[in-house]
Amino acid sequence: MKLKVWLSSPHMGGNELKYINEAFDANWIAPLGPNVDGFEQDIEKFLSGRVKVAALSSGTAALHLALIECNVGHGDEVICQSMTFSASANPIAYQGATPVFIDSEKDTWNMCPDALQEAIIDRMAKGKKPKAIIVVHLYGMPAKMDEILSIAAEYDIPVIEDSAESLGSKYKGKACGTFGRFGILSFNGNKIITTSGGGALVCHSQEDKEKAVFLSTQARDNAPHYQHSHIGYNYRMSNISAGIGRGQMEVLADRVEGRRKMHDFYAEICKDMEGVELFSEPDSDFYSNHWLSVITIDETKALKTREDLRLAFLEEDIESRPIWKPMHLQPVFEDAPYYGGKVAETLFGNSLCLPSGTNLSDEDRERIAKVMIEVLSDKKEYSVSR
């Protein structure tokens, strides 16, 4: 019986248990401790910027706290990339605010600067200046940050980078997650590194980090008794989870290299396939970790559809998945404003996320290649070089 090939499964490095055992030996099990401090410092060093990092229970929690620190409240509007996972938009609703969704551009599949500017001008004309902009680096691909930051600065709107999928990606040599007022990281089980569940908020000042930590630990005032002057949240990362993260940080560079090699693997398979295009960097300004490798299939040229390939993979117990359904097409956000054209909608209809884990074996890759070639090509053989 063949083992299932997963889309993006956790890949341990070996030293995770060392940090976990140290936490048990010292009885540091609570949401604070040496692993939390060490994990935050490891991330700060990796990002190579003058940033401060707060380790939290999830990337969603980090985004929620970023919105709070940007003073987003009931009745406000927040601009958000439409092509993304729902966790990018849900925290806007947590705050009683309204998302304003923006279409993608074709080069990076991320927020279209032209549609962004159109949305800001129109919302302001309607008397609703957006309180923040949430831009996503989709599947690890950096957004066009120069243009987006320039527009945000023109209208004095803070930018929050959803870098949940892009740890290790860079735009013009600078780490994703360090461009906006805040950056969001995720360490969910399917991400490039994992703490089983967890995330982090990237800040540019100690003050912003301290506020995030305060809010994430139930906003307890400095008093001998339990006193609260603000609404708080149970969002801090545990010392055990952070121990997993410290072990994972030791292999992060290898994981980025491994994901990029998986992208190269798909590039080799797809290079002669009519109507099949691999999602890749538009030019040298963009450096993607290729968290997930994604292809688009033009059925008029390939004579096959995204669903033909997905179902063929399913028959062979290989996991693949359509890309994120745009938020402006989701029932829960059907009344939200939307600006742009049909780029995100078209991509959703013909694109597929491919197995991209760094722990796939040669046999796994040969199984993947065999299905793709049988469905999309006249070739019948493919051998993974060992």
Of 53, 344, 23, the residue nearest 203 (C-alpha): 53
* Widest distance between CA atoms in the chain: 74
Is 271 noted as a catalytic residue in this protein?
Answer: no
Residues whose CB is less than 8 angstroms from the CB of residue 112 and which lie 6 or more positions away in sequence, other chains included: 102, 103, 104, 105, 340, 343
Positions of E strands within 51-145: 52-56, 77-81, 98-102, 132-136
For residue 186, how far is the Cα from the chain centroid? 7
SS3 212: helix
What is the DSSP code string of 52-63?
Answer: EEEEES-HHHHH
Q: Residues 52, 191, 209, 211: which is the catalytic one?
A: 191
Query: Token digits for 60?
Result: 């969603």
Distance CA(39)–CA(107), nearest Å, equals 34
Is 242:35 a contact under the CB 8 Å cutoff? yes
Which residue has tokens 């307890």? Answer: 220
The continuous run of DSSP H or E covering 325 comes out as none
Distance CA(93)–CA(76), nearest Å, equals 10
DSSP state, 109? S
Half-sphere exposure of 380 (CA within 13 A, CB side): 0
Query: Token digits for 35?
Result: 């692993």
User: Pairing state of beta strands 159-162 and 182-186?
Assistant: parallel
Active-site positions read: 191
